[in-house]
Amino acid sequence: MIDIFAPTRAEKEIEKELISAIQSVMETGRYCRNFELLGEFENAFAKYCKKTYAIGVNSGSDALFFALLAHGVGKGDEVITVSHSFMESSASISKVGATPVFVDIDTETFNMNVKEIESKINNKTKAILPVHIYGQSVEMDKILDIANKYKLVVIEDCCQAHGAAYSGVKVPIGTTGCFSFYPTKNLGALGDAGIVVTDNEKVAAKIKSLRDDGRSAEAGYLHDEIGYNSRMDGIQAAALITKMPYLNKWNEERKKIAKRYDENLKDIVKIPKVGNCNEHVYYLYVIKVQNRETLMNFLKENGVGTAIHYPLPIHQQPPYKHLGYEGKLPVTEKIVKEILSLPIYPGLTIKEVDEVCEKIKDFYSK
Ligand SMILES: Cc1ncc(COP(=O)(O)O)c(C=O)c1O
């Protein structure tokens, strides 16, 4: 079986290192509030993203939530974002009391259609939250220009884009970006984990407090504000320190797999398009197909796992239906019926990629 995700394959490569890192944490018993290990990972990740600060939290969802809070986004504000994403891109906006305002996406790159942003700006607009979907950056120069012009905050959802670059610069391109280390991600933990990277000192300090029950100092029991228990734990920090040096190599593997899919499938289905200034790191390899459900079943019967990311756009999810976007995001609503994610991850062999492609060819030649 070729699963749609298989994080254990890359982990097998470095199993001894990983086990030894976990054992070291077990020897100290410092599973929580292990700020030495967490700091080591935060420094490494901040350096990788060329950002001044990195604050490890318990998920990408909380990274987004805290980044919005720390940038002062709150009740009554509007945040411009996309509906074609994982639910938390918008849920984080709602959790701070603000309202997501959806723009449509580009039919080829699946990313935010930046041309639609300005028409949505009014005096309630506080921020733009672009999502670097599937591993490819949004056109960030345009977004940063608009944000400058209207004095808006930009928080980049980089949860699917570890190492992705735009015009040669790794995301986040603006001041603040949020990452998830959900196990299937390009850099995945052994459980839930996330991080905010930023160049803004005040934002960093606020998030440090928010994630640690409102404490501004690492030691002691003085709580300056109401916060959350949302630190990245010691085991996750140890695992991520161990995996971090392999991120670029694993991204290269993903790119090779994508290239092979491109070559094999370009005449049969719509292959993903890489934007001009983009270095795509292929968290997901998403094609557009006809007869998707039948193809998915055929592939499943033939031992190939596939998935849809995501089957229901956020504006059609129950908590957002009342906003009234039905029918107003035509590209989002159209592509959601055509997209299909194929297996792509370090450890997937070229032979297996060819097998997947053969099955797809078989299906369409019938
Ligand atoms: C685009 C996007 N945003 C946010 C998240 C939330 O991250 P987490 O699952 O770590 O909370 C994810 C994770 O799947 C994601 O893909």
Is residue 258 in a domain?
yes
Question: How many Å lie between the centroid of ligand 1 and the Cα of residue 197?
Answer: 15
Please give the residue range of the domain that contains residue 210: 7-103+111-245
Q: What is the mean pLDDT of residues 97-126?
A: 98
From 182, 187, 240, 282, the mutation candidate for ligand 1 (largest count of ligand atoms within 8 A of CB) is 182
Q: What's the pLDDT at 234?
A: 98
Q: What is the mean pLDDT of residues 125-134?
A: 98
| Residue 301 in this model has a pLDDT that exceeds 90 | yes
Cα–Cα distance measured from residue 66 to residue 172, given in angstroms and rounded to the nearest whole number: 16
pLDDT digits (tens, 9 = 90+) for 143-155: 999 999 999 999 9
| Confidence at 216, pLDDT banded by 50, 70, 90 | confident
Instruction: Looking at the structure, tell me whether residues 239 and 348 fall in a common domain.
Output: no
Report phi then psi at 235, rounded to 5. -65, -45
pLDDT digits (tens, 9 = 90+) for 306-327: 999 999 999 999 999 999 999 9
Our answer on whether the CB atom of 88 is closer than 6 Å to any ligand 1 atom is: yes
Residue nearest to atom 14 of ligand 1 (CA): 86
Question: How many Å lie between the centroid of ligand 1 and the Cα of residue 130?
Answer: 13
- Beta-carbon neighbour count of residue 181 at 10 Å? 32
Of ligand 1's listed atoms, the one at least distance from the Cα of 193 is 10
Q: What is the mean pLDDT of residues 173-179?
A: 98
Nearest alpha-carbon partner for 274 in 136, 82, 84, 85:
136
Instruction: Looking at the structure, tell me whether residues 129 and 182 fall in a common domain.
Output: yes
Of ligand 1's listed atoms, the one at least distance from the Cα of 61 is 11
Q: What's the pLDDT at 212?
A: 98
Least trusted range by pLDDT, from 14-23, 78-87, 214-223, 246-255: 214-223
Instruction: Looking at the structure, tell me whether residues 90 and 214 fall in a common domain.
Output: yes
Instruction: Looking at the structure, tell me whether residues 147 and 253 fall in a common domain.
Output: no
Q: What's the pLDDT at 366?
A: 80
Our answer on whether the CB atom of 59 is closer than 6 Å to any ligand 1 atom is: yes
Instruction: Looking at the structure, tell me whether residues 120 and 260 fall in a common domain.
Output: no
pLDDT digits (tens, 9 = 90+) for 235-251: 999 999 999 999 999 99
Listed residues 245, 274, 303: the one ending a domain: 245
Is residue 2 in a domain?
no
Hey, which residues does 231 pair with through a beta bridge?
A: 57
Return the percentage of the chain with pLDDT > 90, whole number.
99
pLDDT digits (tens, 9 = 90+) for 333-347: 999 999 999 999 999
User: What's the CATH code of the domain at 264?
Assistant: 3.90.1150.10
Listed residues 245, 278, 312: the one ending a domain: 245
Our answer on whether the CB atom of 136 is closer than 6 Å to any ligand 1 atom is: no
Q: What's the pLDDT at 183?
A: 98
Q: What is the mean pLDDT of residues 92-106?
A: 98
Instruction: Looking at the structure, tell me whether residues 204 and 297 fall in a common domain.
Output: no
Question: How many Å lie between the centroid of ligand 1 and the Cα of residue 185?
Answer: 9
Is residue 1 in a domain?
no
| Residue 361 in this model has a pLDDT that exceeds 90 | yes
Instruction: Looking at the structure, tell me whether residues 228 and 280 fall in a common domain.
Output: no
Instruction: Looking at the structure, tell me whether residues 147 and 233 fall in a common domain.
Output: yes
Cα–Cα distance measured from residue 285 to residue 281, given in angstroms and rounded to the nearest whole number: 10
Listed residues 245, 264, 293: the one ending a domain: 245
Q: What is the mean pLDDT of residues 291-298?
A: 97
Instruction: Looking at the structure, tell me whether residues 205 and 252 fall in a common domain.
Output: no
Instruction: Looking at the structure, tell me whether residues 94 and 232 fall in a common domain.
Output: yes
Instruction: Looking at the structure, tell me whether residues 177 and 263 fall in a common domain.
Output: no
Cα–Cα distance measured from residue 47 to residue 284, given in angstroms and rounded to the nearest whole number: 25
User: What's the CATH code of the domain at 143?
Assistant: 3.40.640.10
Q: What is the mean pLDDT of residues 73-98?
A: 98
Q: What is the mean pLDDT of residues 165-187?
A: 98
Our answer on whether the CB atom of 242 is closer than 6 Å to any ligand 1 atom is: no
Of ligand 1's listed atoms, the one at least distance from the Cα of 194 is 10
